[in-house]
Amino acid sequence: MKRLLFFVLFGGASLGLAPTVSAQVTDTTRTVKPQLNTAPPGAAPVRTPAPVYQPTPTPPTEPAQPGVPASNAPYDPNRPSGLDLPQRPGVAAPEPPMRRYFLYSNFGLGFSSIYGLNQFSASIAPAIGYRVSKKFALGPGITYAYNSLSARGFEGIKTNSLGLKGFAQLMVFDQFFLHGEYEVTKAEVVFQDQYGQLRKGKLTVKTPLAGAGYRQQISDRAAADIVVLYNFNDGINDIYGQPVIRFSFLFDLK
């Protein structure tokens, strides 16, 4: 009887607790409502733009400055060779400075025949020239002339003459130029005496010469000229022949 009563009481207690357990289980499966985010909104992400290619501008042409690379500096003719970087494309090299003074030396040959008198002449005339401009030059010099005269029936006579001169040149086209000289020479000349004999005497001879020439450049400082001149003193007291052909050598000093 006691055991029966115990089981009845235990079973009632179990039935009384069952709804509670069931409610608790049901609550755990109940749908939970979503909760709103009450936190302050964050800053929007910043997009970094893609880099844009910018070409490097070409620096303007300026005078060479210390520390400027040779490839970016204008051409400098005084810069030692072998130390330069290649010249920047598009920059033209300036013209070298004009050399004012030059040595101008020539030697000449001439031959003439007048009144049966044959004359052969050779001369040398070193001079110092000065360029007034790129086209015009002038200068002083000295002259020496050797002459050999002969005629049928007369013994040949040789003379030597020394004098001073001034010259001028004008470049007219490319390497062609006009050339003029004026010489005053203490000359040995040949004349006929009262008996018709050729004799040698001393005389001051003035000789104007004018003509044209051509210049062949040998290097940046040296050149060779050939000049053909007309002798305006074409007389018995002439120390040159007709025409006068001269080969000249020019060398720039500075």
In this model, does residue 194 exceed pLDDT 80? no
| pLDDT tens for each residue of 72-87 | 555 555 555 555 555 5
Average pLDDT, the chain: 74
Domain membership flag for residue 57: no
- The region of weakest confidence among 29-38, 102-111, 134-143 is 29-38
Look up residue 37 and give its DSSP letter: -
**Can you spell out the DSSP letters for 53-108?**
P-PPPPPPP----TT--GGGSPP-TTSPTTSPPPPPTT-PPPPPPPP-EEEEEEEE
Domain span at residue 166? 102-252
List C-alpha distances in Å: 176 to 103, 130, 167, 171, 215. 19, 18, 16, 6, 6
pLDDT range class, residue 165, cuts 50, 70, 90? very high
Domain membership flag for residue 84: no
Domain membership flag for residue 144: yes
Instruction: Specify the number of domains making up the chain.
Output: 1
The pLDDT value recorded for residue 227 is: 92
Domain membership flag for residue 210: yes
The pLDDT value recorded for residue 220 is: 86
Strand boundaries in the chain, DSSP class E: 101-114, 117-131, 136-151, 154-173, 176-192, 198-217, 222-231, 244-252
Instruction: Read off the amino acid at residue 18.
Output: A
Domain membership flag for residue 223: yes
In this model, does residue 140 exceed pLDDT 90? yes
* CATH classification at residue 230: 2.40.160.20
Which tokens hold the place of 85?
Answer: 């970087």
In this model, does residue 15 exceed pLDDT 90? no
Domain membership flag for residue 142: yes
Contact 136, 120 (CB under 8 A): no
| pLDDT tens for each residue of 182-193 | 999 898 877 777
What does the alpha-carbon distance between residue 58 and residue 9 come to, in Å, rounded to a whole number? 107
Look up residue 237 and give its DSSP letter: T
pLDDT range class, residue 135, cuts 50, 70, 90? very high
In this model, does residue 19 exceed pLDDT 50? no
Peptide linkage before 243 cis (omega within 30 of 0):
yes
| pLDDT tens for each residue of 43-55 | 555 566 666 666 6
Per DSSP bridges, beta strands 117-131 and 154-173 are unpaired
Q: Residues 6 or more apart from 106 whose CB is under 8 A from it? A: 124, 125, 126, 127, 225, 227, 246, 247, 248, 249
- B/e letters for 118-138, b = 16+ CB within 10 Å, e = fewer, are ebbbebebebebebeeeeebe
Return the closest-CA partner of residue 103 out of 235, 251, 219. Answer: 251
Domain membership flag for residue 221: yes
What does the alpha-carbon distance between residue 132 and residue 192 come to, in Å, rounded to a whole number? 45
Domain membership flag for residue 151: yes
| pLDDT tens for each residue of 200-242 | 788 888 889 999 999 999 998 999 999 999 988 876 667 777 8
